[in-house]
Amino acid sequence: MEISQIIPHIEALVFASEKALNANDITELINNAFGFLEERITLDQVESALNGIQEKYSTEFYPFELKQSGGGWQFLTKPDFHKTIAQLNGDKFLKRLSNAALESLAIIAYKQPITKGEVEAIRGVNSDYSIQKLLEKELIVISGRNENMPGKPLVYATSKNFMDYFGINSTDDLPKIREVLAEQIVEATVVKPEDFTDTSVLDQTQDINESETEDFDTQDSSSQE
């Protein structure tokens, strides 16, 4: 099957799917649909087709695009149209996470799997409410228990909905802590003494040396007399 024949089937699958589909999923689904074909499509063919579809919908003609998000490929509305479609769901669509929830979510995202106690130790405050809200929004999941800690507390990790929410394909796409901190570093301003006077430091130093020399010569002459 030619790539040009594969493309519309991929578009139909991604459009109809309730969850993100990765290239392996798409390959298997298409091969299952056309199981009677002697020559099955390959993963390379699907990936090439996906690149072609992505390029096609990147033009200004379309209000949506094909993006890797939530662990696979999805059709997503372009940012320019977010306010327009927000009217369909009202305040629920626009509702944002609180600062406390964002703090807890950031800690879980970078430190996962992590216990609630460890989150609280980093934040310095009780995080029961924040973690409960994150669970309700399905941005985090309970991924097991820490068998090495007393009481074997629950451990938390981010979910696929988390990746959808922030438009990333995996936690590897999160900005590195070092990069974030580097952007916050402000280069110190070098303040020179001559910036506050019309006379350079060199001239001032020479004047002081000459003055000290004259004083020494005067004292020496007085002692000789």
Tell me the average pLDDT across 177-186: 54
Least confident of 3-17, 57-71, 133-147, 197-211: 197-211
**How does pLDDT run across 74-113, given as a tens digit for each residue?**
998 888 887 888 777 655 555 678 889 989 999 999 999 9
**How does pLDDT run across 9-63, given as a tens digit for each residue?**
999 999 999 888 999 999 999 999 887 666 789 999 999 999 999 999 999 899 9
Q: Which candidate, 156, 152, 151, places its Cα nearest to that of 140? A: 156
Tell me the residue type at 85: I
> Residues 6 or more apart from 57 whose CB is under 8 A from it?
64, 65, 66, 75
Confidence (pLDDT) at 195: 44
